Amino acid sequence: MLIFEQSRKGRVNPSQSPQSRPEMADIPASFHRVTRAILPETSEMQTVRHYTRLSQKNFSIDTHFYPLGSCTMKYNPRASNTLSMLPGLLARHPLAPDSMGQGFMACMYDLQEILKDVTGMKSVSLTPAAGAQGEFAGMAMIRAYHEAKKDDDRTEVLIPDAAHGTNPATAVMCGYKVREIPTDSQGDVDLEALKEVVGPQTAGLMLTNPSTLGVFERQIEEIARIVHEAGGLLYYDGANLNAILGKVRPGDMGFDVIHMNLHKTFSTPHGGGGPGAGPVGVNECLEPFLPVPMVACNGDEYSWVTKKEKPQTIGRLSAFMGNAGVLLRAYIYARLLGREGMTRVAEYSTLNANYMMVLCKQQGFDLAYPDRRATHEFIVTLKRQAKDLGVNTMDFAKRLLDYGFHAPTTYFPLLVAECLLIEPTETEDKDTLDAFIDALARIKVESEENAGYVKGAPYTLPVRRLDDVRAARELDLVWKEKA
């Protein structure tokens, strides 16, 4: 039942809003709202009960294992939430003067320094509000760099076909044409194909490493050389940074600009689809173009860096400084881990993924790249099951929900047919991984014995499979009172 269907005319929560209704005679009537907006009229208890019940219809990390490839669904420490919600931090106005923000700015400055070190970049701006905005900032900097050099013929961005959809979408937002590069049979970039398309029209290459195929791009140094020799720059999509945290740094691989997804690698909550934070890091050549604001430290005093101090900046990306509360959570997480903990992130997420990959193989599943090490994630392809049994990846995914596991990422990357991209993260224990593999194996048996049953899943959730076609065809986006 919707909250609106629990409304009764005239029901109010008098303690939640001011007691008086002052007049507004000074505002001419032509500006007034005439008909009231339809909002719920429910008691505090009804509201609390309604949204508590809704919350119980969700899977979440706090309640379920979430091996969602490329999304890094690891445990979100509660300390990060509690401490970032301290009253002094919540009440701070974004336009308060530097003198009333030294505590907060110290945290932001420290975070910039930590991110610089773990990525091997020269300078970091925290302001992008999400990974996609970080990507946008990164590509806009590449464009600003070429423009500053009057190198105006660079109109193309190279992107491997395994990339996230945000990469090509971002390149287009920055006014570039996209050229796809194929992947070879072992999951590495096809170097010959790259050499053919790279040239004076190349603005840059966007790469995720480890790639979305769950393998490390072994020829990265060669790729960097090819792109740099052609005058292009190298962009690092930080989606899979968790796999190499404290082991390898994008800066050392030759990347000129990177974005990080703090909601993945630095364990800030996904919140049902955001907010995230997508800080960008750059080497010397792009430093002048970083988005503002940033935090500077002079002695023991912190100040904001704006366009005044950074005249070549690509500019602002939001009204204020970005998703401060997310950045605070990431900072607290980084302090809890420390430098030893950072390295362990890569180690144990990789251990968990390789362990699961071997178990999958033992259970008779096909791996997309059986000859490669897994990074922090790996791909199972259910092509055989789809062909032989008529049970596809979506069916497996939905049936897993019945077993109490969130499904892995399905049908991504697009290169591998019927794929499950599985990322366990470092925070899951061995028993949970075993139980998940056990469920996968059982679904395989179910598929062999009664494919129709698996295709009907899920059975135990608040709803069965939903009619997506109808949702798009008969758009119902806003509830309306029945006449």
Partner 1 sequence: MPFIPHTEEEVKQMLDTIGAGSIDELFDEIPSSLRHDKLAGVPVQTTEMEVSRIISERAARDGQPLCFLGAGAYEHHIPAAVWELTTRGEFYTAYTPYQAEASQGTLQLLYEYQTMMANLNGLDVSNASLYDGASALAEAILMAVRLNRKSKSRRVYMPRTVHPNYRKTVETIVHNQGITLELLDYDRTTGCISPDTLPAAPGDFAALVIPQPNFFGALEDVDALTDWAHVHKGLAIAVVNPVSLAILKPPGEWGGEGADIACGEGQPLGIPLSSGGPYYGLLCCKQAYVRQMPGRIIGRTVDLEGKPGFTLTLQAREQHIRRSRATSNICTNQGLMITASTIHMSLLGAEGLERVALNCHANTRKLIERLSSLDGVEVVFENPFFHEVVIRLAAPLGEVMRALHVQNLLPGYELADDYPELENCLLVCATETRTDEDIETYVGHLQRILGKHEPVKCPIKPKWQVKN
Cβ atoms of 356 and 160 closer than 8 Å:
no
* Closer Cβ to partner 1, 51 or 200, answer by number: 51
Cβ atoms of 177 and 155 closer than 8 Å:
yes
* Closer Cβ to partner 1, 387 or 452, answer by number: 452
Cβ atoms of 157 and 171 closer than 8 Å:
yes
Please list the residues that pair with 420 across neighbouring strands. 380, 410
Chosen residue from 122, 123, 201, 246 binding partner 1 by CB under 8 A: 246
Q: Is 175 in the site for partner 1 (CB under 8 A)?
A: yes
Provide the minimum distance between the beta carbon of 134 and partner 1 in the complex, in angstroms, as a whole number: 10
Chosen residue from 123, 312, 318, 363 binding partner 1 by CB under 8 A: 318
Q: Is 148 in the site for partner 1 (CB under 8 A)?
A: no
* Closer Cβ to partner 1, 426 or 446, answer by number: 426
* Angstrom distance (rounded) from CA 263 to CA 275: 8
Q: Is 315 in the site for partner 1 (CB under 8 A)?
A: yes
Which tokens belong to 325? 């509360």
Provide the minimum distance between the beta carbon of 307 and partner 1 in the complex, in angstroms, as a whole number: 8
Which tokens belong to 314? 């690509």
Chosen residue from 69, 168, 204, 238 binding partner 1 by CB under 8 A: 168
Provide the minimum distance between the beta carbon of 285 and partner 1 in the complex, in angstroms, as a whole number: 19
By CB under 8 A, the residues from 387 to 426 that bind partner 1 are 397-398, 401, 406-407, 412, 426
* Closer Cβ to partner 1, 197 or 384, answer by number: 197
Site map (CB under 8 A) of partner 1, residues 35-74, x = contact: -xxxxxxx-x--xx-xxxxxxxxxxxxxxx-x-x--x-xx
* Closer Cβ to partner 1, 384 or 434, answer by number: 434
By CB under 8 A, the residues from 451 to 480 that bind partner 1 are 456, 458, 461-468, 470-472, 474-479
Provide the minimum distance between the beta carbon of 87 and partner 1 in the complex, in angstroms, as a whole number: 7
Q: Is 81 in the site for partner 1 (CB under 8 A)?
A: yes
* Dihedral sign (CA 173, 220, 188, 396): negative
Provide the minimum distance between the beta carbon of 443 and partner 1 in the complex, in angstroms, as a whole number: 15
CA angle 330, 331, 334 (to 5 degrees): 85
Cβ atoms of 255 and 280 closer than 8 Å:
no
Q: What order do you get walking across the sheet with 419-422 strand by strand?
A: 366-367, 378-381, 419-422, 409-410
Distance in Å from the first CA to the final CA of the chain: 18
Chosen residue from 138, 231, 281, 322 binding partner 1 by CB under 8 A: 322
Phi first, then psi: what are they for 6, rounded to 5°?
-100, -5
Which string of DSSP letters, residue by residue, matches 216-230? Answer: --TTHHHHHHHHHHT
Provide the minimum distance between the beta carbon of 157 and partner 1 in the complex, in angstroms, as a whole number: 10
Residue type, 155: T
* Closer Cβ to partner 1, 119 or 447, answer by number: 119
* Closer Cβ to partner 1, 387 or 479, answer by number: 479
Provide the minimum distance between the beta carbon of 366 and partner 1 in the complex, in angstroms, as a whole number: 18
Q: Is 132 in the site for partner 1 (CB under 8 A)?
A: yes
* Closer Cβ to partner 1, 315 or 384, answer by number: 315
Q: Based on C-alpha coordinates, what's the Rg of the chain?
A: 25
Question: How many of the chain's residues bind partner 1 (CB under 8 A)?
Answer: 200
Q: CA of 117: how far to CAs of 146, 244, 281, in Å?
A: 26, 13, 10
CA angle 288, 294, 300 (to 5 degrees): 115
* Closer Cβ to partner 1, 129 or 282, answer by number: 129
By CB under 8 A, the residues from 253 to 312 that bind partner 1 are 253, 267, 269-276, 291, 307
Provide the minimum distance between the beta carbon of 396 and partner 1 in the complex, in angstroms, as a whole number: 12
By CB under 8 A, the residues from 186 to 245 that bind partner 1 are 215-216, 218, 220-221, 244
Provide the minimum distance between the beta carbon of 121 and partner 1 in the complex, in angstroms, as a whole number: 11
* Dihedral sign (CA 205, 207, 213, 217): positive
Q: Is 76 in the site for partner 1 (CB under 8 A)?
A: yes
Which string of DSSP letters, residue by residue, matches 5-26? Answer: GG--TT---TTSS-S-----TT
- Greatest Cα pair distance, the chain, in angstroms, is 77
106-145: burial string, b at 16+ Cβ within 10 Å, e else: bbbbebbebbbebbbbbbbbbbbbbbbbbbbbbbbbbbbb
* Closer Cβ to partner 1, 11 or 195, answer by number: 11
Q: Provide the 8-state DSSP code for 36.
A: P
Which tokens belong to 221? 């140094």
Which tokens belong to 478? 């806003």
Provide the minimum distance between the beta carbon of 245 and partner 1 in the complex, in angstroms, as a whole number: 9
By CB under 8 A, the residues from 339 to 398 that bind partner 1 are 339-344, 346-348, 350-352, 354-355, 358-359, 372-373, 397-398
Provide the minimum distance between the beta carbon of 436 and partner 1 in the complex, in angstroms, as a whole number: 14
Provide the minimum distance between the beta carbon of 73 and partner 1 in the complex, in angstroms, as a whole number: 6
Chosen residue from 67, 116, 146, 377 binding partner 1 by CB under 8 A: 116
Provide the minimum distance between the beta carbon of 414 and partner 1 in the complex, in angstroms, as a whole number: 9
* Angstrom distance (rounded) from CA 107 to CA 329: 10
In three-state secondary structure terms, 108 is: helix
